[in-house]
Chains A and B, each alone.
Chain A
């Protein structure tokens, strides 16, 4: 009995650990401006004025549009390319496919800062600086390996005899892929898409290095450089409200697909 109680207490502690900072930032975003400095964990009175404020200022809506657009474009391109690459790796026995997978993993561990300088220089000269494409390209580079790795692990478990059956019935290779295999592969593709989206949504280093204005600045960069009424005042309430706005949808998606995401995060790594 006492052992069970111990596990239960541990569970409560774990949940509290995970949710505490989130609860804190939600609480901050709902405090009245005058109460922000009261040092309490919970707000005394609730207000939505910080939420109104961030949508009145053009800075945040622009960043939100950039973030959504850039993350969606990255997801679409990376997942499409990764699906084709993973298909090739699993289906077409070619030499060096282990090498491709190994290289993919190496790229995933690549320090972003090492290519920020060259990209900055190249983007400046080619006009890609401060554009959506200027961020989508490095994001695709960094997410492609992960997506390929994950999809290759997933595709390996698909019953490929079905493809042969479809081709015997007269389907072309591409038709068989589209109508038979893709529906089976869909869960893996969704997982890859979510993980890629989260990477692009989360990135900060490229976002502050390769952008300079509202034209392409994404939410993490915008929040970090939020300016208040005066230069020296940190707009705590606005930052908190903006944080909640960009966090809530991602948390909902992650919770909805939690089983897939857990599989995705651990795929390949432990299977060995």
Chain B
């Protein structure tokens, strides 16, 4: 199993050392780190990296807050629990491209209902900042249920007796949440954060459908796709791919270093 991903990434590493453009296949030759220098010297890469980080940070932060609210709701509202739990699985079941198209039509100035609702006349996907808002909204909508379910699983592990004891000791709802619930949920929160950050960093489908990376909304995955598939420049594209891989590993390591390994003991 390792082989099936280790081999391609090694191959990508190898390709990234060549000038290799499928439009000019005969001009393939070794350039060493030349491709990396080109990528790292290009403003497109840094812009895309910044965009990706903006999307990642804002969407993961929103997902965590919203996900927590949803998890608490499912945990506490006994009556509506099943209906809510059923309903929030719907975003998970929808193809990302389909969801993105739904948002695109909704925010479209001609077909959409959002402008009418807000009394605006705005081409949301025609300006940079509003386009970012729509991208983050689409991402948050689609993935909050996953975060909520992970957090709910963590919530159910908090012993009721402990909360009752804290109440007897005079702790208010907020204090109970801060000093009892949150510390016990730390592992669940970390897992949700780690999974979603790495996932959000790869964002591709939503951006591709909503803007195709126009208006400076390119993410690193879009840059990689454009170089590899749209422009068939395998050498340069592979360098981008390897850099993305390095970023993902760096994020994962930073999490593990900052919080310790949340998945320490997978085998019981």
In the complex, chain A residues 3-18 whose Cβ is within 8 Å of any chain B Cβ: 7-8, 10-12, 14-15, 17-18
Q: Which of these, B87, B152, B188, contacts A18 with CB under 8 Å?
A: B87
- Identify the interface centre among A17, A21, A39: most chain B CB within 10 Å of its CB: A21
Contacts of B191 in A (CB 8 A): 269-270
* Residue from A18, A24, A156, A204 with most neighbouring chain B CB atoms (10 Å): A18
A11/B80 in contact, CB under 8 A: yes
A contact residues around B8 at 8 Å (CB): 114-115, 118-119, 122
CB pair B188 A246 closer than 8 Å = no
Tell me the nearest residue of chain A to B142, going by C-beta.
A21
Interface SS of A by simple majority: helix
Closest A residue to B4 by CB, please name it: A141
Return chain A residues, CB-CB under 8 Å to B106.
21, 24
Near A by CB (< 8 A), chain B positions 193-216 give 195, 198-199, 201-202, 204-205, 208-209
CB distance from B186 to the nearest CB of A (A): 11
B86 touches A111 (CB 8 A): no
Main secondary structure of the interface of B (DSSP, over half): helix
Of A97, A110, A198, A272, the residue contacting B187 (CB under 8 A) is A272
Taking a contact as CB atoms under 8 Å apart, the answer to whether A115 and B89 are in contact is: no
> In the assembly, what is the distance between CA of A241 and CA of B67, in Å?
30
Question: What residues of A have a CB within 8 angstroms of the CB of B86 in the complex?
Answer: 255, 258
Task: Please tell me if the beta carbons of A22 and B94 are within 8 angstroms of each other in the complex.
Answer: yes
With known contacts A22-B94, A255-B86, A205–B73 Cβ distance under 8 A: no
Q: Which of B111, B115, B150, B252 contacts A236 (CB 8 A)?
A: B111
Answer whether A113 and B5 are a contact pair too, CB < 8 Å, given A258-B85, A270-B188: no
Question: Bound state CA distance, A152 and B265, in angstroms?
Answer: 13
Q: Cβ of A111 and Cβ of B1 under 8 Å apart?
A: no
Total residue contacts A-B, CB cutoff 8 A: 266
Please provide the chain B residues from 247 to 268 with a CB less than 8 Å away from any CB of chain A in the complex: 248, 252, 262-268
B61 at the interface (CB under 8 A from A): no
B55 at the interface (CB under 8 A from A): no
Q: Which of B36-44, B96-104, B164-172 binds A?
A: B96-104
Chain A residue numbers with a CB within 8 Å of B157 are 270
Q: Is the CB of B198 within 8 A of A109?
A: yes
Q: How far is the CA of A98 from the CA of B85 in the complex (A)?
A: 32
Which of A45-53, A185-193, A217-225 lies at the binding interface? Answer: A217-225
On whether the beta carbons of A18 and B93 are closer than 8 Å, the reply is: no
Q: Which of A236, A262, A269 has the most CB of B within 10 A?
A: A269
Residues of A127-157 at the interface with B, using a CB-CB cut-off of 8 Å, are 137, 141, 144-145, 148-149, 152, 156
Residue from B11, B89, B112, B265 in contact with A261 in the complex, judged by beta carbons closer than 8 Å: B89
Interchain CB contact under 8 A, B116 and A268? no
Complex A-B, nearest 4 residue pairs according to Cβ-Cβ distance, in ascending order: A11-B80, A115-B8, A7-B77, A118-B11
Apart from A28-B111, A121-B15, A269-B195: 6 A-B pairs, beta carbons within 8 A: A15-B83, A89-B267, A97-B267, A141-B1, A204-B96, A270-B157
